[in-house]
Amino acid sequence: MDELLVKLDLQTCATVANTIFPESFWNPKVPRSKFFERYESVLPRLRKASPKNAKGLYFERMLQGGPDEHPNQLDFVIANYAARKGVRRSALQISIYDPKVDQTAAAQAGFPCLQHVTFAPTKDGLCINAFYATQFAIERAYGNYLGLCALGRFVAHELNLSLTRMTCFTGIMKRDDNVRVTDLASMSQIVDRILKNAEVAA
């Protein structure tokens, strides 16, 4: 997938995933408050790193937008569940879409496609659910799935659970504007080559 994305001058899967959860910043042995502080300290640089980050990043939105007494939505979800195991399920969700910023008449916004994320603890472990209004099939989808799974593993770790399922709901799966049918054929050839190499290695 990355080989095709690089060829098309698009962001790699890891780059897309890191907008949802910056996994390289996370050390499970360190308190999450330190993780959040570290992320916020580099956030200005992350926003300048790409024009696509101008309106913010998904993980940034997760660390803000909550009530005045607990503005970090992600920390609220974790702390609230940890304090009361019987917390209502409807409290375990994070809103990405901010009407004050995102509700405009612009023909193209580009961000945020991810609208909100919910967490559902079960007897088997933690499930994470994500809701997208639209999603680009090639440029973003797989990277989004990787980022959501990483986010789910983080929350599961903080709740002393294991991640058991990630479900992604997408209203409209869009074909990328700059991806041609011949590019998809190229991707098919890449996959065939990978599978053949795997057979040889086995």
87 confidence band (pLDDT: 50, 70, 90): low
Question: What's the confidence (pLDDT) of residue 201?
Answer: 60
- Cα–Cα dist 202/66, whole Å: 50
49 confidence band (pLDDT: 50, 70, 90): confident
Give me the phi and psi of 164, to 5 degrees please. -110, -25
Q: Identify the three-state secondary structure at position 132.
A: strand
Question: What's the confidence (pLDDT) of residue 53?
Answer: 76
- Cα–Cα dist 116/94, whole Å: 6
112 confidence band (pLDDT: 50, 70, 90): confident
